[in-house]
Amino acid sequence: MEIAIVHMGNISQLIPATSVVKGIKKAHHGTNITWVVDKQETCYINKYNKDIARTIAFDKFSKEDKKYELLINLYPCFNGTDITPNIKECTGFKFHSYFDKFEQIFTNDENKEEMNLFQLYFILSGLTWNGEGYNIGYKPRTKIKPKKIGVSVANANIRNYILDNLDIDKNKIWYTPYKKNIFKRMDEINRCKKIITDDLITFHLAMAMKKYVYYLETFPLTTKLELFNKGEICKVPMNII
């Protein structure tokens, strides 16, 4: 069975979206999954994910003649009406009126305090979320130092806020170097037992590696963060930012 998953969002949205892959393969046996992203430079997101046959940019995907039995659209801003002749069945955003309300989750227009991204993506895929986590596939190449607490925060004021307000051993803090490549960033994150960050990408990567994460909320989130009992959310006062 050939299935296409379309998600043309940013990396912080794509990382938790990987959770649906194992659910899809369990529900649809013998499945080959093509993952469609916005740009070619984002295709590397699934480089190490053996559950995904290939990742392709939308401009190439839309020009293919390949037929798919199912398309799952996980991105509300995608309008795939011009490619649906090649798709036997479609689900997710744009294809069922039931899912229209979920567009508001991405625009912060409705109360969705109890909806996390994992639940959202599973519902859009026609599945039930049972606590499944991330499915990135990459195994970090670094060793964990249990006493090290990684801080991934660029703002100096927020760094000072951490030192003054979080109950942590300041002697164990290590400021993780910024890595644009998510796999290199995972290598740096893996050196630590705990992570403190205000960056959503770093948050998701750290949670994927089952680190204890202090997420510093510096702006209102459009969806509930799932902590898997391994973290805390600390709201940073606006005057600090």
Look up the pTM and report it: 0.90
Q: How confident is the model at residue 33 (pLDDT cuts 50, 70, 90)?
A: very high
Q: How confident is the model at residue 232 (pLDDT cuts 50, 70, 90)?
A: very high
Q: How confident is the model at residue 95 (pLDDT cuts 50, 70, 90)?
A: confident
Q: What's the CA gap between 179 and 202, in Å, rounded?
A: 10
Name all domains of the chain by residue range, CATH numbers in brackets: 2-124 (3.40.50.2000), 145-235 (3.40.50.2300)
Tens of pLDDT, residues 145-199: 988 999 999 898 999 989 888 888 888 999 999 999 999 999 999 999 999 999 9
Q: How confident is the model at residue 82 (pLDDT cuts 50, 70, 90)?
A: low
Q: What's the CA gap between 70 and 82, in Å, rounded?
A: 15
Q: What's the CA gap between 147 and 125, in Å, rounded?
A: 40
Q: Can you read off the two tokens belonging to residue 235?
A: 């709201």
Average pLDDT over residues 59-86: 85
List, edge to edge, every strand of the sheet that includes 192-197. 173-175, 145-152, 192-197, 212-217, 231-235
Q: What's the CA gap between 196 and 208, in Å, rounded?
A: 15
- Could you list the beta-strand ranges (E) of the chain: 2-6, 32-37, 54-57, 68-73, 87-92, 145-152, 173-175, 192-197, 212-217, 231-235
Q: What's the CA gap between 38 and 6, in Å, rounded?
A: 9
Q: What's the CA gap between 22 and 43, in Å, rounded?
A: 19
